[in-house]
Amino acid sequence: MSKTQNPVIEFAPFTLAEEVDESTLMAASDALQAEFLNQQKGFLKRDLVQIADNKWADVLYWDSKESVERAMQEAPQNPAALNYFQLMDNAGKDDPTAAMMFMSVVKSYS
């Protein structure tokens, strides 16, 4: 991750739809990364984390809130993003942003 001053962290939890297996999620996650996120200005890093059996979260790092907002406006027009959201059982089908949380880094330690 670059040394961006006060990056924004996007925490986006979701439940994987029952009919979707982990390999399908991984393929869609790879496509989202390659075909959408890597093209976004201000995108720094993303981690896909597993919370429980079919509970997951994307943890994304952005250089600013404006970069997040721009990407959120572009996502509905991107086939890879739409495919990824369709794998979600909760907010993904109607409103993929419903469960998202945004945080600003105040201080980092390493």
Q: Could you read off the pLDDT of 4-54 as tens digits, one per residue?
A: 578 999 999 999 999 999 999 999 999 999 999 999 999 999 999 999 988
Is 32:88 a contact under the CB 8 Å cutoff? no
Bridge partner list, 14: 56
pTM: 0.85
8-15 sheet: strands from edge to edge: 43-52, 55-62, 8-15, 101-104
Q: What was the pLDDT predicted at 105?
A: 86
Q: In 3-state terms, the chain is what percent helix, strand and coil (to 5)? A: 35, 30, 35
Is 80:31 a contact under the CB 8 Å cutoff? yes
With CA atoms as reference, report the closest residue to 40 among 68, 65, 1: 68
Is 90:55 a contact under the CB 8 Å cutoff? no
Is 24:72 a contact under the CB 8 Å cutoff? no
Q: What was the pLDDT predicted at 106?
A: 86
> Domain residues of the chain, as ranges?
9-104
Statement: 9-104 belongs to CATH 3.90.1150.10: no
Quick check: 94 pLDDT over 80? no
